[in-house]
Amino acid sequence: MPKPGFHGPLIRVNECCWRIPKSYKPGMRVDGLIYSSEEMIQQLVADQAPEQVANVAFLPGIQHASLAMPDLHWGYGFSIGGVCATDPSDGGVISPGGVGYDINCGVRLVRSNLFFKDVEPHRKRLVDQLFRDVPTGVGRGGKFKFTPKELRRLMVEGPRFLLGRGLAVERDIEYTEAEGCLEGADPDNVSDRAVERGKDQCGTLGSGNHFMEVQVVDDVFDEDAAGVMGLQKDMICVMIHSGSRGLGYQVCDDALLMLRGVPERYGIELPDRQLACAPVHSTEGQHYLGAMRAAANYAWCNRQLLMWQAREVFASVFDRTWQELQMDLIYDVAHNIAKFEEHAIGDTGEIKKVWVHRKGATRAFPPGHPEIPPLYRGIGQPVLIPGDMGRASWVLVGQAGSMEQTFGTTCHGAGRAMSRTAAVKHAQGRRIDHELAARGVIARSQSWKGLAEEQPAAYKDVDLVVEVVHRAGLSKKVARMRPIGVIKG
């Protein structure tokens, strides 16, 4: 039996980047580039994820390199933390494995005018009411119900559909990536089974690594950028991490079934069946893109409704409207998505429109980019990096280096350090909620297993991950957030 891990060549490029040369495997069209530190690289090569980075380099039309962020770990087809761009004019493909099952899983951050001293006396009541009022758990439905006709509109319009229902305000949309709507969404490409799964799950948290977390601004590293976002030390914020729920999962499952045998039909040779793909301009490619965009728009609505419920809970606990509490959305970013973007490619700097696959990775556009809300154009796009529920999360801003190196991309979280099975085994005989309470975090979950799978030890240290992307010039530290209360499935 071969030893687990990656045994191919890994050449150091600089203090933050390592290269897998395309000579490693016949069929690789570009190099692999992994962003990591010396401290973290040994943990990365103990996993099979670098092999997946090399495999992605086989995709037709891939540009520059197959990329991986420092939160890299094993995933379906692509590693989590994997990034690539394909050029449709060069035979480029679209691959559901480069988006993932939880289409547009992402994060949003909400500020408030409350500070730790204001919330601490009410913290237990606040977390308990969030857990009671915000639906969590596997397959759980919520209070927002949509008819099939309404769901079609929601999948086309994104959160703008919720404006008319009084469940969003214009500012919420302005401060969401892509304003919460990918054009070209086609609900007709979303199966009846996916629609059935999604009809009552919009506005629900789900399970796994999804969470709603009450956080305190623990430290500020860039006063100017923090000031633009309205962040101050000891301020209370709410971070929400969820995606497209059962609807998005089913869209991915349907696509992978549709793509069986398709690469061979187009003469595409792949080292891993999980990289199933289709040329962007093919019937199959366009079908998936229409459904993927619809699921992405659904996910933005899901996070909008989760935020709306959080606002209602805060208003109830503190006896003030959410507007009086200034619970404004700072930003919302997608982590699992494919988007058609304009980038300068490689050493030549040729400008191309490419399909950027971000699988467990965050868009990080720099100052001045036209897709950033005007308020943030002077500082760069806010980048939200959740860590584990016992340590920290981060707010950063995108930097010019992301456009030069990674198609405007940075990491998306801490990254798992152990599998869920290993984490449950590691937690035997322990009370994770009590351990978190000793760290000053009130945690509520539907099950012991849910907390065991997501215990802090199951994740890498997010501070180390963030340090890599900061040093690499992909995104810049703004503020560190400390959890004080969390609800999970």
Q: Which of 210, 241, 287, 412 is catalytic?
A: 412
Q: Is 324 exposed, middle or buried (0-12, 13-18, 19+ CB in 10 A)?
A: exposed
d(CA 20, CA 93): 22
Between β-strands 336-345 and 211-220, what pairing exists: parallel, antiparallel or unpaired?
unpaired
Whose CA is closest to 475, among 410, 412, 415?
A: 410
CA dihedral 206, 207, 209, 210 (to 10 degrees): 20
d(CA 404, CA 397): 15
| C-alpha neighbours within 13 Å on the C-beta side of residue 256 | 16
- 412 given a catalytic annotation: yes
Bridge partners for 32 per DSSP: 20, 66
Whose CA is closest to 92, among 56, 62, 57?
A: 62
Q: What one-character-per-residue DSSP string does 385-447 give?
A: E---TTS-EEEEEE-HHHHHHSSSEE--S--BSS-HHHHHHHTTT--HHHHHHHTT-EEEES-
d(CA 138, CA 141): 9
Between β-strands 393-398 and 382-385, what pairing exists: parallel, antiparallel or unpaired?
antiparallel
d(CA 34, CA 70): 7
Catalytic residues: 412
